[in-house]
Amino acid sequence: MSDLYIYNSYTREKEKFEPLVPGYVGLYVCGPTVSGESHLGHARPYITFDVVNRYLQYLGYKVRYVRNITDAGHFEEEGREAEDKVATKALLERLEPMELVHKYTNLFHWGMRLFNTLDPSIEPTATGHVIEQINMIQDIIEKGYAYEVNGSVYFDVKKYAEHFPYGKLSGRVLDDQLETTRELDGQEEKRNKADFALWKNAPPEHIMRWTSPWGEGFPGWHIECSAMSSKYLGQVFDIHGGGMDLQFPHHESEIAQSTIAHGHAPVRYWMHNNMITINGKKMGKSYNNVIKLTELFSGNHPMLEQPYHPMVVRFYILQTHYRSTLDFSNEALQASERALRRLWEGYEVLKKLNHPGNTEAQDKALDKKVTDWCRECDEFMNDDFNTARVVANLFELVPVINGMKGGQIKLNAISADTFTLLSQTFKSYMEDILGLQPLAQEQGDKLDKVLSLLIDIRKDARTRKDFATSDQIRNKLTEAGITLKDEKDGSVSYTIE
């Protein structure tokens, strides 16, 4: 098999992937900030890197996948902000930070389960690693690259840039950063505008606070990822992933902090997924155009024409390369739904086919096509995880499978080996790598028996040419979301929406 190449955002080139320790991969992905509900835009990195994780495992690597939960910071729940600041409220009337964080962490996990993402190996929380963060900040201060002002600690970016390539990841020039005219909170405390906070002093009304060498406060946004990634993956690790919008300042800051604390850059391959847009604009809280996962799955949103199944959303995301923007529309989602249904049904049909076992293919040209389409899937994945091309190849194979079922193509047209390859490719890609699942829930025995009865009654009616009855059964079932299909061999199958 060809080698895996990954587009490294740091060098802006596709590079051959070689893990630090042969056979093992350390993968870190920036997780959610659990101060609010996850939306469609958030789904993209977690599905993208789920496939990265799955594919690395498919290649035989032992992956340690770390994805953090950002549960520390300046948190407020919408609509409750004002109340929280009133200290006179009774304890149970106020919002506990832990309560808020717990609620949205659970909701996030709920969404991830529906998307069929594999659990990370470790899901560390920022609040659980305050000590590690404080230690790392102290280390940076001792090395002379951070300074304390009024109980807050800032990283000295200007000094760092004199010795290290600050801005390389995000393609930024420090001089421009120093001239930024923006007025931000705590700006006057910084020596330079490009400096960023490692630790923030907590004002009296701030709900999250910890004791530190610099007084009561809370960690800066960037330090948690540096502290937790180095703890669980080492000072240097293989892959760090996240959304493109995190490149600056978040990931740039991570590099700076870790470089000072550990003496070398932390990450060997940086991967960034592109954004999901809606009407051409990035989906984001500040644009006021988000569709939350709960809304997406229920259809309960003014922009949604219908609910969308989590698998449809997953498939829709994987039909595009992860470094391209992906525009949301009802039309696109609906097209994905039909496409996924067709693809999955093709897979179900394939599972039921039995090859006669001939070693010689009767149709050499088709045999070769099928073999190539299957083998190309690995090549496409090796080319920076091109799931879009993989999906296209699977679709090339669907008519072959359906043709075999329908009799237009003889099963012995391809060899037994090729048929095995075809089956394995579908199994590996549909289930293990792309992580797809059937849209319909698995139905229990009872419904199956009821439907068998109805199918038998309808069959009798048809043999008596009582089409009124047979059509009534079929139409009523269709209304209930159950589609009957009369197969060529006289049998009847059904699909449930």
Task: Find the part of the chain contacting RNA (CB under 7 A) among 94-102, 331-339, 353-361, 443-451.
Answer: 331-339
The reply on whether position 334 binds RNA by CB under 7 A is yes
Secondary structure percentages of the chain, helix, strand, coil, to 5: 50, 15, 35
Residue closer to RNA, measured from CB, 61 or 340: 340
The reply on whether position 125 binds RNA by CB under 7 A is no
Q: Which of 85, 168, 172, 262 is in the footprint of RNA by CB under 7 A? A: 172
Distance, CA of 465 to chain centre: 53
The reply on whether position 165 binds RNA by CB under 7 A is no
Q: Which of 127, 230, 320, 415 is in the footprint of RNA by CB under 7 A? A: 320
The length of the chain is 497
The reply on whether position 336 binds RNA by CB under 7 A is yes
Q: How far is the CB of 427 from RNA (least distance, A)?
A: 19
CB 348 within 8 A of CB 436: no
Q: How far is the CB of 23 from RNA (least distance, A)?
A: 28
DSSP 139: H
The reply on whether position 102 binds RNA by CB under 7 A is no
Interaction pattern, residues 409-428, with RNA; x per rule: CB under 7 A = --------------------
Q: How far is the CB of 22 from RNA (least distance, A)?
A: 28
CB 22 within 8 A of CB 251: no
Task: Find the part of the chain contacting RNA (CB under 7 A) among 20-28, 116-124, 238-246, 431-439.
Answer: 238-246
d(CA 390, CA 400): 16
The reply on whether position 170 binds RNA by CB under 7 A is yes
The reply on whether position 480 binds RNA by CB under 7 A is no
Q: Which two tokens stand for residue 118?
A: 């594999």
Amino acid in position 251: H
d(CA 74, CA 58): 40
Q: Tell me which residues in 24-53 interact with RNA (CB under 7 A).
A: 30, 32-33, 41-42, 44-45
The reply on whether position 245 binds RNA by CB under 7 A is yes
Q: Which of 3, 78, 331, 360 is in the footprint of RNA by CB under 7 A? A: 331
Residue closer to RNA, measured from CB, 45 or 124: 45
Q: Which of 249, 266, 310, 435 is in the footprint of RNA by CB under 7 A? A: 249
Amino acid in position 216: E
Q: Which of 176, 432, 448, 497 is in the footprint of RNA by CB under 7 A? A: 176
Q: Which residues contact 215 (CB under 8 A, 6 or more apart)?
A: 151, 201
Q: What are phi and psi of 414, to 5 degrees?
A: -110, 155
Number of residues that bind RNA (CB under 7 A): 82
Q: Tell me which residues in 68-87 interact with RNA (CB under 7 A).
A: 70
Q: Which helix (H) or strand (E) holds 276?
A: strand 276-278
Please measure the distance between the N-terminal and C-terminal CA atoms of the chain and give it in whole angstroms: 39
The reply on whether position 124 binds RNA by CB under 7 A is no
Q: Which of 126, 275, 350, 434 is in the footprint of RNA by CB under 7 A? A: 275
d(CA 177, CA 158): 10
Q: Which helix (H) or strand (E) holds 381?
A: helix 364-382
Task: Find the part of the chain contacting RNA (CB under 7 A) among 133-141, 154-162, 291-299, 397-405.
Answer: 397-405
Output the CA–CA distances (angstroms, integers) from residue 235 to 6, 49, 222, in the order listed: 21, 21, 16
Phi-psi region of 259 (alpha: psi -120 to 50; beta: other; left: phi over 0): alpha
Q: Which of 78, 188, 488, 489 is in the footprint of RNA by CB under 7 A? A: 488
Place of tokens 């001089």: 175
The reply on whether position 221 binds RNA by CB under 7 A is yes
